[in-house]
Structure 1
Amino acid sequence: MGSQRPTRTLELAVKALARAGQRGIILTDKATLIEQRLSEQIYITNGVPHDWLFPQMSAIVHHGGAGTSAASLRAGVPSITVYHISDQQFWGKLVANVGAGPRPIRRRWLTAGKLARTIQRVLANTAMQQQASAIGHQMRQEQGTIRAIQALEQHSMQEIQQVARKTF
């Protein structure tokens, strides 16, 4: 959940987690906030790969960027999108439309209470959890990266063969 005011966003997230009665890992790129343990319940860090971290979570709160949205779907975990700009809202709506998260929340309208209630609703929604899990399973079976590499290799070989025919 990116922010122009990271300290205020951090305070909001900490309050929301406390109100929701949940533990949390907060990822940030703000050097002054990194590698802190605010309590036994909340840890702040950076540089943790989403593909490793997200499958271990019960829910994910994020800004709704395309990459983060894809990683949350691939992890098979419900996600709450807190968007700042329009493309983030688009991805948040996509996640909600496929049943893997609630409707996206605009950052400007977010409060600790609203986020806490949303976290609690997501964690209590078994249908959403099952849908997110099913989508994640399907995405992991697609092996998109491997297929893309194979397509690039095949295309490259065809190009090399064409150049070789013209040259010799």
Structure 2
Amino acid sequence: MPTIVITTIGTLGDHLPYVELGKYLQRRGHQVRMAINEAMMPLAIRAGLATVLCGVRMGEQEAQQNARDWNHWDSSLYQAQILGWQTYLKRETPLAFKQLLEACVDADLLICGYQRQSLGALIGQKTGIAWIATSLMPAIHNYLSETNLVTQAFERTLNEIAEELGLQPRWEIPKNHAILASSPHFSSVNPINAFYQQTGFWFYEEQDWQTWQADSALQHFLNRFHSPLLLSFSSLPLQDARSVLALHVRAAAKLGCGLLVQRGWADFNVSLLPDDCDPDAVFFTDFIPHDWLFSRISAIIHHGGIGTLARAIRNNCPMLVEPYGNDQFFNAKQVLVHEIGAVAHPQKVTVEGLVRLLTQKVLTESCRHNVRQLGEKIRAENGLERASQFIEAVHERHEKHER
């Protein structure tokens, strides 16, 4: 069986689906090697996957130090953010290229996440290895054109890096080697990106989640507040977590709801609670298996990350999305298209606005009906199986060509 290298970069949501893909491929008999940064290695190691270092460290602490880079509402930061990412590319890409090149020495196939597709093109050009372009983000493949200031700036930087590495700046994606790990029931790809094969979402799982049980404190909270709201921004760092928390605590209080709060990379914690709230009506927690949790809440308030959103749909959970940047804006739009929740501007919404949206758009029978209908379609898919079959077919075609 072939040796497959999987590489990705970003936050937790950019890694967990690829760890699950690695586990799935390994169970099918393949040798899998995860080329990821140091902060994400424990995820792969815990899953029983081989790991090699690739790229600079990017974990919770690093994200929190640069929280403004995740906030795309402030146009005054736009140019500074572009310059910051160009500087990051110049520092990170040559290092990651060298490390990934070593990881692929005896490999048969390279699978690259969206932010690693430029490396896939360079490694493929350098070694001739077959590589597959993948993406978790349906937003990227719905734009009719990616010609904008950001992509132009990044492409100029990548061209310079390629030339410094002695390679041609060619960034073409192999047209029959591309996977979009999203459901066509959530969104379709535009004609320009029609060569991406939609497999359905890749859901990360851990074996002990099936038997997970709440501790006595959480169970007591759930007994007191039946079907509370959940506030979870996952691995999104925030510049002002105190104000964000206060807004949602006060809205939940007006609704007479309990509020479960996942700490996440925003580092929500009891010390940030406003003085005018009932601390017993708010419960802070680290990670709880989402399948268990989402079946016990009335709705989730989140940032619009595709992983959280897809898991909520799969569990018939209505949602309020407060997007901050990147693909979160498109994902929020799709929530409105499917009428499975509501969307709020995170820096403009008020307590009264949150209460109104939740009451009129989210905590309604029609919203619950719509998300159940979409959830049924999502649950019928097996994205990891379809992706694995596609990956194996690519390898077989490449082997035949090489002969």
TM-score, normalization by structure 1: 0.81
Structure 2 CA distance for aligned equivalents of residues 128 and 68 of structure 1: 18
- Mapped contact 1:13–1:112 kept (Cα < 8 A): yes
Partner of 1:53: 293
C-alpha displacement of 1:160: 7.5
Task: State how 1:26-105 maps to structure 2 within 5 Å.
Answer: 26-29=261-264, 30-31=266-267, 33=269, 39-85=279-325, 87-102=327-342, 104-105=343-344
Instruction: Give the 3-state SS of the residue equivalent to 1:53 in structure 2.
Output: helix
Q: Contact between 1:77 and 1:129, CA under 8 Å: does it hold in 2? A: yes
What percent identity do the matched residue pairs reach? 27
Q: For 1:40 and 1:146, how far apart are their aligned partners in 2? A: 44
- Distance across 2 between alignment mates of 1:92 and 1:123: 13
Q: Partners in 2 of 1:73 and 1:135 — Cα distance? A: 7
- Structure 1 segment 83-162 matched on structure 2, within 5 A: 83-85=323-325, 87-102=327-342, 104-122=343-361, 124-156=363-395, 158-159=396-397, 162=400
**What letter is aligned with 1:16?**
A
Q: 1:123 to 1:99 in 2, by over 3 A?
A: closer
CA distance in 2, matches of 1:112, 1:75: 27
**Which structure has the highest helix share of the two?**
1
SS for the counterpart of 2:260 is: strand
Could you list the structure 1 runs, at least 4 aligned residues long, displaced by more than 4 angstroms after superposition. none
Give CA-to-partner distance per residue, 1:109-155, whole Å, 9 cap, x none.
11122112222224542111101011111101112122212322343
Cα distance in 1, alignment partners of residues 285 and 311 from structure 2: 18
Gaps of 5+ in 1: none
Q: Report the Cα offset of residue 97 of structure 1.
A: 0.7
The residue type equivalent to 1:118 in the other structure is L
Contact 2:341–2:362 at 8 Å: present in 1 too?
no
Structure 2: give runs of 5+ residues left out of the alignment.
Answer: 1-232
CA contact (8 A) 1:62 1:79 kept: yes
- Say yes or no: does 1:11 pair with 2:251: no
- Aligned to 2:341, the other structure's residue is in SS state coil
Q: Distance in 2 between matches of 1:160 and 1:88?
A: 36
Aligned letter for 2:391?
L
Output the TM-score relative to the length of structure 2: 0.36
Greater CA deviation, 12-21 or 62-71? 62-71
Name the amino acid aligned to 1:65.
G
